[in-house]
Chain A
Amino acid sequence: MVKRIVVGAHYGLRDWIGQRASAVYMAIYTVIFAIAALTLPEMSYEAWSGLFSGGLMRFLTFLFFLALFYHAWIGVRDIFMDYIKPTGLRLALHVVVLFLLFGYAGWAAQILWRL
C-alpha cells in the first residue's frame, strides 16, 4: 500500500449520536434501578431475583448492558484511534474488543435469564 495519509471514512455521526443516546438511556436506567433496588422489601436473594423476574425489568436491564457495551465500544475505539498508530495492530485490538463485548452481552443475557 502506498504510504499516504488517508481519511474520509464517512462515518462517525452515527457513533457520536449512539454514544449520547446510550448515555441518556444508562442515566434513565440508573434512576429506575436505584428506585427499584431501594424499594425492595428486604435485602435477600429472593427479593433480588424477584426484582428481575419480571419480563420488563429483564428487558430494561439487558438493554442497559447493550447500551453500556455500545458506549464502551465507541470509547475504547476512540482511545485506540488516538494512541495505537500501526493500522494492523489497531485493527487487531478492535476485533479483540468487539469479540469481548459480544461475549459480555451473551454473558449478561445468560445471567439475567438465570436469576
Chain B
Amino acid sequence: MTKRTLQLKIYRYDPDKDEKPYMQDISVELEASDKKLLDALVRLKGVDDTLSFRRSCREGVCGSDAMNINGKNGLACLTDLESLPQPVVLRPLPGLPVIRDLIVDMTQFFKQYHSIKPYLINNDPTPERERLQTPEDREELNGLYECILCACCSTSCPSFWWNPDKFVGPAGLLAAYRFLADTRDQATSERLDNLEDPYRLFRCHSIMNCVDVCPKGLNPTRAIGKIKDMMVARAV
C-alpha cells in the first residue's frame, strides 16, 4: 500500500514558551495500519514529542482523547481518518481552560459531576447478595450508565460555556438522571431539590448539541427532559 499523508492544523500552546496560542500546519506520513485519528496523533507524537494530548485506552472507553475535530467535539480514537476532510483542524475542547496544546483543565467539569452525587444513596442495611431490580426498572438505566465522562457534550453546550460554575451541564445531568431513575436509590427528593435551580438545571434550553456530539450515542437532552418531568410530577 502506498504511503498516505495527512494534513493537520493543530492548536498549539505551551504556557511556558508561547505568549499566546497558535495554529500549527503539520503533515504526517501514515502507515497502512493507521485507521483512526488517534493513530495519526500517536504517529505525529513520534515526530514531534512536544505535541501534548491525553489518550489511554484508544478504543472509546476511557474518554481521555476528547477534542474538537474539524469544529465538532469527538474522540480521536473513534474518529475514522477516512471520514475527515483535510486539513484536519484539531483544537482543545472549547470552554475549558487550556493546560497545554490539546489538554484542557477538566476541574470544572468534574466539580459539576460530583455536585449531583454520582453514587447510589440507600440507607437500608446492605443485603446479603445484592439489591435487585426488575428487568423493566433496570431497562430505564440503559442509555444513562454508559457515559464515559469525556466531556464532549458539556463543552459543546453554550449554556455550559456561559455558566460552567453554575450549570451542571449535560454530562452531569445525564448522571443525575441515572440515579433519579434508579429504583434502588432513596434520595430522589434530595436530588430533585439539588437540581431545582434556575442555573443548575434550567439553563438547558434543549438545543441538543450534546446529543449531536456524544461519541457513545447517548441522549442527555432526553434525560434532562425526564428530570423536568419528575419535577412536574412532584409539584402538581
Contact = CB atoms under 8 A, between A and B. Distances in A.
A83 B163 CA distance: 9
Contact of B196 (A5, A13, A78, A81): A13
Contact of A81 (B158, B201, B203, B231): B203
Given A8-B200, A81-B198, A81-B199, A13 B163 contact: no
A7 B199 CA distance: 7
B193 A13 contact: no
Contacts of B205: 78
B155 interface: no
B146 interface: no
A15 B202 CA distance: 9
B229 to A, nearest CB: 11
A12 B197 contact: yes
A17 B198 contact: no
B202 A12 contact: yes
24 contacts: A5-B165, A5-B166, A7-B197, A8-B197, A9-B199, A10-B197, A11-B196, A11-B198, A12-B196, A12-B198, A12-B201, A12-B202, A13-B231, A13-B235, A14-B235, A16-B202, A78-B203, A81-B163, A81-B199, A81-B203, A82-B159, A82-B162, A82-B163, A82-B203
A27 to B, nearest CB: 18
Given A10-B193, A12-B197, A16-B228, 11 more contacts: A7-B197, A9-B198, A9-B199, A10-B196, A10-B197, A11-B198, A12-B196, A12-B201, A13-B232, A78-B203, A81-B199
Residue of B165, B196, B228 contacting most chain A CB atoms (<10 Å)? B196
A1 to B, nearest CB: 16
Which secondary structure dominates chain A's binding surface? helix
Contacts of B163: 81-82
Interface in B160-205: 162-163, 165-166, 193-194, 196-203, 205
Contacts, number: 47
Interface in A6-61: 7-17
Interface in B189-225: 193-194, 196-203, 205
A13 B192 CA distance: 11
A15 B163 CA distance: 19
A16 B201 CA distance: 11
Nearest to B111: A5
Given A13-B232, A17-B232, A81-B163, A7 B200 contact: yes
A15 B231 CA distance: 12
Nearest to B231: A13
Nearest to A83: B162
A12 B232 CA distance: 11
Contacts of A17: 232
A14 B231 CA distance: 10
Nearest to B196: A10
A7 B202 contact: no
A35 B232 CA distance: 34
Contacts of B202: 12-13, 15-16
